[in-house]
Amino acid sequence: MEKTFSIIKPDAVKNGNIGKILAIVEENGFRIVAMRMTKLSKSQAEGFYAVHSERPFFNSLVTFMTEGPVVLLALEREDAVKKLREVMGATNPANAADGTIRKLFAESIERNSMHGSDAPETAAEELKYFFTGVDLNQL
Ligand code: CMP
């Protein structure tokens, strides 16, 4: 079993798509290990996306990620990192396959409804960034 980290982003929360996205996630065999709805602070969003700090879209991305509530998720299944990225689809919804979360719900390459860790090592870091050991171990 592998864990991955995910965020249902402000566009999807605002558009009323939390339930539909969670249903797709569960239908694809993921167990929700921890979940929290919150509004990210500027420093939380900047820290989370620090790897992108030199990119031209960084400030806009931080503004977007702090504009409204998000849902933080710890998800578990076999091959969870790779499988979630398949279920989410390509970063740019214009390139996402039919039936993927981003094809169904995303508004643009920035407002793309969902984040998923890109590797098991990144998942471990991202899970630690938002969830305490208690949240992850109690279930
Ligand atoms: P995510 O998978 O969370 O990782 C980084 C985020 O930056 C990405 O989803 C998008 O929300 C955003 N992003 C990536 N590339 C671009 C881009 N070219 N223009 C604007 N936003 C982007």
Render each residue's pLDDT in the chain as its tens digit; 139 residues. Answer: 999 999 999 999 999 999 999 999 999 999 999 999 999 999 999 999 999 999 999 999 999 999 999 999 999 999 999 999 999 999 999 999 999 999 999 999 999 999 999 999 999 999 999 998 777 765 4
Q: Given the structure tokens 């305490």, which residue do they identify?
A: 132
Q: Residue 119 in contact with residue 81, Cβ under 8 Å?
A: yes
Q: Is 112 in the pocket of ligand 1 (CB under 6 A)?
A: yes
pLDDT at residue 138, rounded to an integer: 56
Q: Given the structure tokens 């990210």, which residue do they identify?
A: 40
In this structure, what are the phi and psi dihedrals at residue 73, rounded to the nearest 5 degrees?
-130, 135
Catalytic one of 33, 115, 117, 131: 115
In this prediction the pTM is 0.96
Of 109, 96, 103, 120, residue with least CA distance to 52:
109
pLDDT at residue 139, rounded to an integer: 46
Nearby residues of 53 by Cβ (< 8 Å), 6 or more positions away: 46
User: Which of the listed residues 109, 118, 122 should we mutate to test ligand 1's pocket, taking the one with most ligand atoms within 8 A of CB?
Assistant: 109
